[in-house]
Amino acid sequence: MTTAHKLRTLAAKHPAVRAGRYELGLYCDLIRWARGRTDVSEGARALPHPPGRLQMLGFLTAVLLIELVAVHLLLPSGTVRLIALLLSLWGIVFVWGLVASERVRPSYIDDQQLVLRRGRKVFATVPLALVSKWNASRSYETDVTVHDGQLTIGGSAGTDKQIILLEPVYAAEDTYPWQKKRTAPVTRVRFYAGGVL
């Protein structure tokens, strides 16, 4: 292995590089969403998104636009105003990129597996052969947690489905893009299926 290859490998693991790649991926997902594309395997069925996410995005966009106008009126013209304007515009595009990532990469089920993800973050891939029981079980969890052998992928609508597994699968905790992936074995999974399963 050459020194250059070692340096590239080391740089790829750096948190700033991971965060930068994640952000560039969000912008690509925004373009994919605008074109109506989704990243779901052939023959797979996408699970619905929890309701309320787009409304929250609209509200946040309105707040950011009000902030943009207020900062423009309050700051004197010059470099500081321009930087504030660019940061506000970046914030709007970034937030839309986050939601676009979720729309482009929904959770899905095919003949072999159930893939539970939110945007670019895959929480678990569950082989259907390991599922012993499917329960319609409502909870109002809003967070993504891995605790006591259970993965809960909460959201604005909570969860409406629980599956019990014959053997543990590894589930990822919800982390920021620059953090390393942390996994733990789980035998129960709760998620929002929107009545599809």
Residue spans per domain, the chain: 107-191
Classified as helix, coil or strand, 127 is strand
- Measured between alpha carbons, how far is 177 from 182 in angstroms, rounded to an integer? 12
- Measured between alpha carbons, how far is 160 from 105 in angstroms, rounded to an integer? 20
Give me the pLDDT at residue 133, please. 92
Of 96, 116, 92, 124, the closest CA to residue 32 belongs to 96
What's the whole-number mean pLDDT along residues 178-182? Answer: 84
What's the whole-number mean pLDDT along residues 23-51? Answer: 91
35 alpha-carbon distance from chain centroid = 19
End-to-end CA distance of the chain: 48
Give me the pLDDT at residue 26, please. 93
Classified as helix, coil or strand, 106 is coil
Tell me the pTM.
Answer: 0.81
- Tell me: the pLDDT tens digits for 112-157? 999 999 888 999 999 999 999 999 988 888 889 999 999 999 888 8
